[in-house]
Amino acid sequence: MLEVACGGKPIEPRAPPEEAFLADWIKDCWDKGDILATIDKSLEKRFVEQQAELVLKLGLLCSYPVAAARPSMSSVISYLDGVASLPDDLSSVIKAGEFPAGSNEVDTPNELTLAEEKHRSFINNYISICFSR
């Protein structure tokens, strides 16, 4: 979802440092109140802002490093169809690792922390390999 909406890859080694990790860049722009700045420039503002924002936020939720914390596909469809709404405090929910009803629950906060550390380690190693070429 994020790659399609933003027109980029999950990891762009040649991008500016703040844009190297697509999900992190989207979260940073969201925190600054400018999440739509991440939308693919080739769309030239030809999109419905509310729909684009939903896709970006849902994409962040779906790309969470811990698979067990991601929403089920039926929940994703409900969000996209407008049957269910994302929580208003989704940004803080994503940061805290506490997910709305309908997502797959994770048993312990330590599991999130360990998974996040493994994820970051993998990404850092991947970038080192890309830049060494």
Chain segment 71-82, per-residue pLDDT in tens: 888 889 989 998
Contacts of 4-7 spanning 24+ positions with Cβ under 8 A: 5/38, 5/39, 5/40, 5/52, 5/55, 5/56, 5/59, 6/38, 6/39, 6/40, 6/56, 7/40, 7/41, 7/42, 7/43
pLDDT at residue 114 tops 80: no
Average confidence score pLDDT of the chain: 79
The tokens for 62 are 């779906």
- Number of residues that this document lists for the chain: 133
Q: What is the pTM of this model?
A: 0.68
pLDDT tens track for 3-35? 999 999 999 988 889 999 999 999 999 999 999
